[in-house]
Structure 1
Amino acid sequence: MIPDVIDPARARAMQVALGLDGTIQSGDALPPFFHQLYFWDPQPPENLGRDGHPKVGGLIPDMGLPRRMWAGGEMQFHAPLRAGITAKRLTYMENSQHKQGRSGPLGFVTLRHEIWQDDILCLTDRQDLVYREDPNPNAAKPTPPDAAKDEEICETRSFDSTLLFRYSALTFNGHRIHYDIDYTKEIEGYAGLVVHGPLLAQLLMLLAERELGGLSSFAFRATAPLMHFETAELCWRSDGRAWVRGPDGRQCMEATAR
């Protein structure tokens, strides 16, 4: 269990980093997914893995696979989480398993986070993580799915290393693929810095909240990485479907909002 005061200044900093007005004050309900700004669990350097994440082997079992990705998640919003008030997060390991994928062995872990405030369950957040081997430079690159083109709303969004750094800092995410270009290219085999999957989900959630007037649930799945130098399109349909389309038409993320 991790307690934390839901500092409104940190929420305002996120609003500004995302290009919004910093308006959140004590007592205000947080936008959806802003709970990820809180409940940090800082570890000393010796407890970190090569990628900047805490070493596995505690709550998350060591599957012998070095590369980690936040593959998706699902949230149920039960009650508003309000700024300026102490809250607590309880985390449970719901599931872990090995599978054989087309690119090699994979490890899947599902964590369940519960956020409580004033003895009220405000939200349930299931986080899906995937672990994999280091890339084989001689292996064929996986083919990402094509994104749909039947959206009713399409918003263009650009990313840069400054936004990725600020987002990593606000969420206390030490994963080096988001800020260390040499590590990202030489060790994990990406073409550039990787835009955080949760950052894409955050932008889709804000779009969905605006169109629906509020959210009761949101589920997302990452399907292809997006690089920091690429421009993406945030797509929305009134049936609750949302997705991120890369500049070459590939689907980077799909989501469903209610």
Structure 2
Amino acid sequence: MEIQTDVMDAARAGALQMALGKQATVRGGTALPPFFHHLYFWTPQPPGQLGRDGHPKVGGLIPDMGLPRRMWAGGRLEFFAPLIAGQLAERRSLCESSSSKSGRTGPLGFVTLRHEVWQSGALRLTEWQDLVYRQDPSADTATPPAPLARLDETEHRELSFDSTMLFRYSALTFNGHRIHYDIDYARDVEGYAGLVVHGPLLAQHLMLFAEDVMGPLAQFSFRATSALMHFETASLCRRGNTLWVRAADGRQCMIAEASA
């Protein structure tokens, strides 16, 4: 188990609110919005301990599966009580499972991490992160078609991204993954059409959307289904407890379920 402590700095939370286009309302002693714990518990490493993609090298908490490309495929959260800004918190992390299999695009590695975040002696939330590791793309490997998104939402919000937003989110969450800010690496090494919008950033927008209409969340789960590029617009959609991200071309980028 890996244990880290951090103070839930209100200024950092306010900076993320501003980066998301919202007012900076978090102050010391107020509750953090859901998923804002990703601003904390950084794990900085010296340059020699980073992989080619900018992430810390695997082999510690995350086992080395011999595959170079990492994707945050989804996750699940249970919220028990809000985290309070300005106070110390503790995160307890472990690798819950890891496995390998062969998929349509070649070998795949699957890792599930579990994080518990404690504050003032109480468990505030539990999060499961589902990571997928893949081999480098090749010219003769066909890309599976992306699923089409639903069109039956009862409400939606339009959202656009740019390289500045992606850089600010990477900086605030100390995410060094080069697919989000190094366009040459994203295109030439990992085969994307542009900079990749962070999966957690899409999930963050969906969580705030759900909280706005449903009230404080008890559970939230999400699954990434297609990468969204920095030059694309998207729609955040909701029908009942189901939320999703639809790209301008109609493909589904993320699907989620929320409960209050």
TM-score of the superposed pair, with normalisation by structure 2? 0.98
1:110 is aligned to: 112
Q: Return the offset for 1:99.
A: 1.2
2:40 is the alignment partner of 1:71: no
- The count of residues paired between Structure 1 and Structure 2 equals 257
For residue 54 of structure 1, give the secondary structure of its aligned residue in structure 2. coil
1:38 is aligned to: 40
Q: Return the offset for 1:138.
A: 2.4
Is 80-89 or 135-144 further displaced after alignment? 135-144
Q: Unaligned stretches of 5+ in structure 1?
A: none
Q: Return the offset for 1:56.
A: 0.6
Contact 2:105 2:143 in 1 (8 A): no
Q: Equivalences for 1:45-64 in 2 at 5 Å?
A: 45-64=47-66
For residue 224 of structure 1, give the secondary structure of its aligned residue in structure 2. coil
The amino acid across from 2:57 in the alignment is: K
The amino acid across from 1:234 in the alignment is: L
1:180 is aligned to: 182
Find the aligned partners of 2:212 and 2:23 in 1 and give their Cα distance: 15
| CA shift digits 1:77-126 (9 cap, x unpaired) | 01110000000101010000001111111000000000000010000010
Q: Return the offset for 1:144.
A: 0.6
2:250 is aligned to: 249
The amino acid across from 1:142 in the alignment is: P
Find the aligned partners of 2:184 and 2:148 in 1 and give their Cα distance: 29
Find the aligned partners of 1:140 and 1:95 in 2 and give their Cα distance: 29
Q: Equivalences for 1:1-258 in 2 at 5 Å?
A: 1-238=3-240, 240-258=241-259
% identical equivalent positions: 66
Find the aligned partners of 1:109 and 1:64 in 2 and give their Cα distance: 13
Q: Unaligned stretches of 5+ in structure 2?
A: none
Poorly superposed stretches of 4+, deviation over 6 Å: none
The amino acid across from 2:183 in the alignment is: I
For residue 206 of structure 1, give the secondary structure of its aligned residue in structure 2. helix
Find the aligned partners of 1:59 and 1:15 in 2 and give their Cα distance: 30
